């Protein structure tokens, strides 16, 4: 087959996926909560029942990945076991338990002329999700899109192709058993990288929004090529600021948790800022707590003085999302110094201030322009579940449409329903 | 000067506008309601006081436009007089009266672990508005962006360049007198069409959203070139559906108002759909009402039979936004026929059903997927002011971020403020 006809075939394939999704979306938009929940429960059951098949598919992906000599971090993200499969099934059941946003009234009011206006939540339509190696995204994202009444086209990483296909088959069983269109959740059945290009720019008639979940190169490609709206998930270069009025033990405990509880999530702290006004009292205990937990500290001159195990930080450290047991640390001039540092180096994801001073806290909370700002709490609370919003697609670092955790409500649009009694406009 | 250096100059100019806007936005985000309202009131005063200068500038634009032999519709949109200047000033004062959305709490809740979570409205940041000949957009859009704490870069049509500059100067006076950055509202000071290209794709570091207000060629260019989020305002191919259970007089009155009250607005009806079940009773009176008001009717065979003055409709009529005293009219098979016609030909803007049957109405309201759906009311209520939302930038036909009327609330984003007492994540 020539390259040209392969690409024509891909175009036809993607066009068909788009048409199928649009047709499914128009049915899903009117589907009741019961049908959607029935499909999800059946999908969770199919995943449990299909665990052997899923693990077998995953073993194929793993051996191909090992043969391709990928990083151990990628292998870890790719690997499934009984526990991870069970947690996928349970994740879907958590989505069942969420309130269905579709058809709910976001606001309602009456006008002096008697018109009753209601803002009602409706699905976005068709969502395209482009993600990398984690196979559980197939289940999570499929479930969240279905619950919010959206059809979805999933484009997973080639490393997890067999795992994704096996999980996707279980979602399809769920849809079928509930009488919903199986095309509600479609998986792009090719690893051809050109398929991503179609999703970004060639399917504007079908896709209402694209959600990229992956590293910097994917995000950069999406920003350059996308012709449909995007819910972006950029990096989380998160900060903890220890103020002069912080309780030292609280500062130790939060800094440790924010950095070390899990280092690989986007809400993990990457830079510690310490108020110059409490170098003598707070700097040493907080830095030692981190060092003793096995965290590498890269500090400015003042932080290096605190402990000889501290390495020297370079300018680029302030920009870096390590996603590892490494933290950059710097002394700043009070809360305004912290605000200025975050404005310059941060990624507007999640930042926390530790202080006992209410006025200082409010200044930080108001002036730091990030999706999530916390007072006396760990940055690792940056999570839809921890916010009480249920499962999430991720944490949006965009300001448009959705900011912070993206759960079912953020996957909706709305329309205005206006009820009158013959009103005409004067 | 060579073309190359002219384009380098334009790049520098746009870059400077972007930097200025970003700097102004960071000040504006923290500005209080009083300061913003003081700036707006002073701007309204400056427009009243500056009316002679504004009208003089407008006269220059008008004579240039006449010399360029533009359409009379464009001349009408361009023309200012004392009444229109006064209505601009009053429009700004209406924005003063609106509730300031910034800093308000959209939602607040507490978690079992004691964390208090608050979703607080914040500005989007920097808004770019690209519009065509109406000079009043300069005042309206500038005022709405300022009230919502956003810096704005306005790019008006070249036909209205002198009028826009005169109005913009009045807005600057208002900002200055209130001690707010004059760069909060900037007007692109060149008519070079390449400036639009910079706004769409060359200023992604500065612009948070683009709002295009103009004809199809502008909208098409924006969709092709934009690398920043867009709030789109496509056409309003709006429908009125007269059901078999409609009160005939109400149908006459609403059809007439929806089409003829003002034909040039996006909420004007463009197609009339009549239930086959009431041809004998409703078709003739409704069509005659329109004809007698001076409306041209283009109908299918059944509608042509109703009155000999009805012209034959072609397929393209069902797609057409006339913005004129012309209406397409067709007989459909009940409410489901109307829903199917709208799904195929509509622009998802605004549609109305006239019926006394509640179940039929609810079916229409639920199944028609438009930004605004009405029961027994005129489509001309599609307007932020009529919705009680105050002044508007326009009616968004997008599903993402903002749908329907775009007022100050739709020009905001949000952030999460989380208050704890030392919580760490288990």
CATH class held by domain B238-386: alpha beta
Pick A403's closest partner by Cβ from B400, B413, B422. B413
Render pLDDT for A155-192 as a digit per residue (tens, 0 to 9).
Answer: 999 999 999 999 999 999 999 999 999 999 999 999 88
| pLDDT band for position A2 (cuts 50, 70, 90) | very low
Q: Give the integer Cα–Cα distance in Å for A339 and A348.
A: 11
Contact residues, B window 188-207, toward A, CB-based 8 Å cutoff? 204
* The pLDDT of residue A415: 98
Pick B374's closest partner by Cβ from A370, A381, A420. A420
Q: State percent of chain B over pLDDT 70.
A: 98
Chain B interface, best mutation among A373, A399, A401, by max B CB count within 10 A: A399
Domain layout of chain B by residue ranges:
3-232+405-417, 238-386
Tell me the average pLDDT across B99-105.
96
For domain B3-232+405-417, give the CATH superfamily. Aldehyde Dehydrogenase; Chain A, domain 1 (3.40.605.10)
| pLDDT band for position B178 (cuts 50, 70, 90) | very high
Is ipTM > 0.90 here?
Answer: yes
Task: Tell if the CB–CB gap between B372 and A413 is shorter than 8 Å.
Answer: no
Q: Give the integer Cα–Cα distance in Å for B126 and B74.
A: 29
Give the residue among A123, A120, A99, A100 at the shortest CA–CA distance from A108. Answer: A120
Tell me the average pLDDT across B400-411.
95
Chain A interface, best mutation among B225, B267, B377, by max A CB count within 10 A: B377
Asked if the model's pLDDT at residue B89 lies above 70, the reply is yes
Render pLDDT for B243-256 as a digit per residue (tens, 0 to 9).
Answer: 999 999 999 999 99
Tell me the average pLDDT across B89-112.
96
* The pLDDT of residue B1: 41
Tell me the average pLDDT across A351-366.
98
Regarding predicted confidence, which is higher, A133 or A231?
Answer: A231
SS3 category, A115: coil
Regarding predicted confidence, which is higher, A397 or A338?
Answer: A338
Give the residue among A184, A129, A188 at the shortest CA–CA distance from A164. Answer: A188
Task: Tell if the CB–CB gap between B419 and A388 is shorter than 8 Å.
Answer: no
Render pLDDT for B193-249 as a digit per residue (tens, 0 to 9).
Answer: 899 999 999 898 999 999 998 777 888 888 788 888 999 877 899 999 999 999 999
Q: Give the integer Cα–Cα distance in Å for A224 and A222.
A: 5
* The pLDDT of residue A72: 85
Report whether B425 contacts A378 (CB < 8 A). Answer: yes
Residues B87-125 as b or e (16 or more Cβ within 10 Å = b): ebbebbbebbebebbbeeeeeeeeeeeebebbbbbbbbb
The size of chain A, in residues, is: 426
Residues of A with CB below 8 A from B418's CB? 372-375, 377, 381
* The pLDDT of residue A6: 62
Render pLDDT for A31-73 as a digit per residue (tens, 0 to 9).
Answer: 999 999 999 999 999 999 999 999 999 999 999 999 998 888 8
Closest CA–CA distance from residue A400 to any residue of chain B (Å)? 6
Asked if the model's pLDDT at residue A291 lies above 50, the reply is yes
Residue B244 CB partners (closer than 8 Å, separation 6+):
B275, B277, B278, B282, B334, B355
Task: Tell if the CB–CB gap between B418 and A372 is shorter than 8 Å.
Answer: yes
Q: State percent of chain A over pLDDT 90.
A: 86
Chain B interface, best mutation among A369, A370, A388, A392, by max B CB count within 10 A: A369
Render pLDDT for B128-152 as a digit per residue (tens, 0 to 9).
Answer: 999 987 899 999 999 999 999 999 9
Tell me the average pLDDT across A220-242.
89
Q: Does B221 touch chain A (CB under 8 A)?
A: no
Residues of B with CB below 8 A from A151's CB? none
Helix (H), strand (E) at residue A196: helix A194-197
Residue B420 CB partners (closer than 8 Å, separation 6+):
A374, A375, A376, A377, B114, B115, B116
Task: Tell if the CB–CB gap between A377 and B414 is shorter than 8 Å.
Answer: no
Q: Please count the other Cβ atoms lying within 10 Å of the Cβ belonging to residue A116.
A: 15
| pLDDT band for position B404 (cuts 50, 70, 90) | very high
Q: Does A424 touch chain B (CB under 8 A)?
A: yes
| Torsion of Cα atoms, A379 then A385 then A387 then A388, to 10° | -160
Render pLDDT for B334-391 as a digit per residue (tens, 0 to 9).
Answer: 999 999 999 999 999 999 999 999 999 999 999 999 999 999 999 999 999 999 988 8
- Per-chain mean pLDDT for chain B: 94
* The pLDDT of residue A73: 81
- The tokens describing A276, both together, are 């110059």
Sheet with strand B372-377: strands edge to edge: A105-110, A116-123, A412-423, B372-377, B350-354, B238-242, B269-275, B326-332, B296-299, B311-312
| pLDDT band for position B6 (cuts 50, 70, 90) | low
Q: Please count the other Cβ atoms lying within 10 Å of the Cβ belonging to residue B249.
A: 12
* The pLDDT of residue A5: 57
Same fold, B3-232+405-417 and B238-386: no
Closest CA–CA distance from residue A228 to any residue of chain B (Å)? 9
Q: Does B425 touch chain A (CB under 8 A)?
A: yes
Asked if the model's pLDDT at residue A153 lies above 50, the reply is yes
Residues of A with CB below 8 A from B397's CB? none
Q: Does A375 touch chain B (CB under 8 A)?
A: yes
Render pLDDT for B306-348 as a digit per residue (tens, 0 to 9).
Answer: 999 999 999 999 999 999 999 999 999 999 999 999 999 999 9
8-state DSSP, B206: T
Q: State percent of chain A over pLDDT 70.
A: 98
8-state DSSP, A117: E
Pick B423's closest partner by Cβ from A247, A378, A401. A378
* The pLDDT of residue B354: 98
* The pLDDT of residue B5: 57
Asked if the model's pLDDT at residue B165 lies above 50, the reply is yes
Closest CA–CA distance from residue A289 to any residue of chain B (Å)? 15
Render pLDDT for A99-130 as a digit per residue (tens, 0 to 9).
Answer: 999 999 999 999 999 999 999 999 999 999 99
Q: Does B422 touch chain A (CB under 8 A)?
A: yes
Asked if the model's pLDDT at residue A235 lies above 90, the reply is no
- Per-chain mean pLDDT for chain A: 94
Give the residue among B293, B268, B251 at the shortest CA–CA distance from B379. Answer: B268
Tell me the average pLDDT across A191-201.
92
Residues of B with CB below 8 A from A125's CB? 399
């Amino acid at each position: 087959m020539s390259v040209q006809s392969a690409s024509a075939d891909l175009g036809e394939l993607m066009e068909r996926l788009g048409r199928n999704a649009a047709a499914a979306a128009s049915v899903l938009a009117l589907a009741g909560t019961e049908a959607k929940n029935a499909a999800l429960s059946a999908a969770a059951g199919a995943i449990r029942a299909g665990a052997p098949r899923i693990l077998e598919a995953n073993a194929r992906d793993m051996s191909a990945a090992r043969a391709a000599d990928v990083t151990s971090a990628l292998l870890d993200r790719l690997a499934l076991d009984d526990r991870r499969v069970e947690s996928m099934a349970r994740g879907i059941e958590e989505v069942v338990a969420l309130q269905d946003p579709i058809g709910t009234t976001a606001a309602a009011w009456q006008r002096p002329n008697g018109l009753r206006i209601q803002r009602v939540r409706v699905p976005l339509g068709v969502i395209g999700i482009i993600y990398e190696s984690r196979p559980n995204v197939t289940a999570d994202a499929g479930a969240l899109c279905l619950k919010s009444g959206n059809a979805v086209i999933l484009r997973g990483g080639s490393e997890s192709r067999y795992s994704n296909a096996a999980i996707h088959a279980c979602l399809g069983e769920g849809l079928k058993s509930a009488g919903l269109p199986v095309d509600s959740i479609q998986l792009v059945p090719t690893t051809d990288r050109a398929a991503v290009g179609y999703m970004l720019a060639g399917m504007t008639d079908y896709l209402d929004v694209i959600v990229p979940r992956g590293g910097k190169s994917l995000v950069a490609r999406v920003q350059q090529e996308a012709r449909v709206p995007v819910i972006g998930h950029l990096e989380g270069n998160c900060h903890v600021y220890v103020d002069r009025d912080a309780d030292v033990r609280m500062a130790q405990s939060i800094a440790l948790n924010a950095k070390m509880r899990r280092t690989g999530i986007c809400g993990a702290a990457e830079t510690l800022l310490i108020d110059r006004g409490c170098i003598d009292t707070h700097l040493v205990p907080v830095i030692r707590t981190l060092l003793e937990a096995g965290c590498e500290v890269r500090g400015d001159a003042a932080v290096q003085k605190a402990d000889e195990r501290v390495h020297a930080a370079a300018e680029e450290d302030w920009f870096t999302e390590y996603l590892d047991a490494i933290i950059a640390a710097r002394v700043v001039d009070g809360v305004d110094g912290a605000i200025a540092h975050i404005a310059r180096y941060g990624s507007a994801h999640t930042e926390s201030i530790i202080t006992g001073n209410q006025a200082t806290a409010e200044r930080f909370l108001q002036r730091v322009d990030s999706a999530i700002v916390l007072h006396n709490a760990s940055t690792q609370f940056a999570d839809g579940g921890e916010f009480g919003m249920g499962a999430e697609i991720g944490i949006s670092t965009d300001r448009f449409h959705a900011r912070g955790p993206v759960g079912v409500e953020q996957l909706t649009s709305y329309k205005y329903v206006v009820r009158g009694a013959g009103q005409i406009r004067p």
